[in-house]
Each structure stands twice: as structure tokens, then as C-alpha cells.
Amino acid sequence: MKIAGKTVVITGASSGLGAALAQGMWRAGAARLILLGRHEARLNQVVRALQADGADAHAVLADLSYEDDVHAVVDWLRAHAGPVDILVNNAGAGAWNFLEDSTFAEIREAMAVPYLAAAWLSSALLPAMRQRQHGHIVNISSVASTLVWPGATAYIAACRAMRGLSDALAADLRGSGVHLTHYESGPIETPYWSTHPQSRARVPGIARLLVRPLSADEAADAIIRGVEGQRRHVVAPVMMAAVLRLHGLVPWAVRGLMVRTGFRP
């Protein structure tokens, strides 16, 4: 789908990849940007920068792990934004931990954002997209949708849920005029790593050796190319795509390397 002239909703837009996607979508010609996030000051800063550049950008404060906030967002969109052309489910949360070191609240949050947030918001916006036979949903997760390593149990489970949602929803949408892109990323240099330093230490050694982290702008560019090319599946960087292809051929070998070079307490 061409982004020019479209209304785009981006979740998790307060910083990092979400903020970079907002800038990239604006450069690609988006007519209106609706940015959702939980951190009011940072979200407003992103929106003000876009507005200063001439963008029609709006901030909507919401915690999408709560159903009431999702309903409030949908009501706001209907009242102020009109039809949504592109929904980018980028919101995510949670540190990498062994399951027994995670609280019940942390396990719930890991699944609520991204998975429940993406499922709830997509469910609410899909009827209008289907009626118009027009729309594009982007689900953003990581290569944990395919790969596993020690010390990130709830995070990996949530990424697997995002992959299941994406695969099943793409099947549902076949022939509807509504498209879906699932983005699996390798490491991206965002504020996540500074707020969750233990997660960086748990990146498997083989991944640190082979895969260069992307900047947020590089990841955003890969996603935007995927949307404009109506690609069903996008993996970046190129080396990570090669790792996933190898996993498809010899999953036991790649899994073994990820586990053996992973974090041990």
C-alpha cells in the first residue's frame, strides 16, 4: 500500500522505533499521523517535532494493556481521525527474565503488550477496513517469533503469540482487500536497552557476533518498504534474515547455537 495520502495509527510511538516510524511515514507522504503511547511528555515531544515539520500529527495517551483505553482510542479515532488506512502495532513492554524470576504482573504485561494490545486494536478497526476493502495492519515483533534462547521466557512467548496472530489474521484477510505485514527484527538500538540493561546481557553470543544492531531509522525504513511492497513478512537486518532461512533448513542446529551461547546465571 502506498503511504502517501493515508491516515496512519502507530502504537508505542513515544520513542525508539515508534517515533522513527512516525518520521518515516511522514517522509513517505502520510496525510495524518495518530501516535499512541503511555509516556505523555515523550509522546508530545515526538508530535511537536512532526508538527514543526508540517505534519498533521496527533498524540493520544493510552495504555493499550487495558480494554477501557482501547475503547477510548477507538472512540477518539472515530470522532477525530476518520477512516484508518494503516495500523502499526508497535507497542511492546517487558524485560527478559527466566520465568521463575518474573512476577505474575510482569508475565501478564509481557503478553498484554504487544499481543493483547495488537489483537484488541486490530479487532476494533478491522470491521471498517473490511467494509472499505482497504487497509493495512503491521504487527511488529522480533526474531523471538521464530528463535528461542535462555532467559527471556515471557518475552519469547509473547512474540510467538504475535506470530500466531499475524499468521491467522493473514489467512482471515485473504481476498478482503486488507493486507498484513509481520515484521521480525533483530536487535534495534532504542531506549529499551538502557531501561532494561539485563536484556542486552542476555542476547546470545552467536547473535552478537553475527548480527549488527539496526538503528531505529533503519528498522523503520525496512518496515515502510514492506508496507509499500505489501510484503507479508519482513525480516531485518539481512544477516538475521539469513539466520532465519538457515533455521528453516536445520532448526536443530540454529536452536542449539542460540541456546549454547545464551545467558546462564
Q: Which residues are catalytic, by number?
A: 155
Report which residue type is found at 210: L
* Residues 74 and 124: beta-carbon distance below 8 Å: yes
Q: Which helix (H) or strand (E) holds 235?
A: strand 233-236
Measured CA to CA, the distance from residue 136 to residue 26 in angstroms comes to 16
Q: Which helix (H) or strand (E) holds 136?
A: strand 135-142
Measured CA to CA, the distance from residue 180 to residue 87 in angstroms comes to 10
Task: Kindly report the length of the chain.
Answer: 265
Cell of residue 188, nine digits: 534495534
Residue 252 neighbours by CB distance under 10 Å? 8
What sign results for the dihedral spanned by CA atoms 187, 188, 192, 195?
Answer: positive
Q: Which residue has the cell 539466520?
A: 243
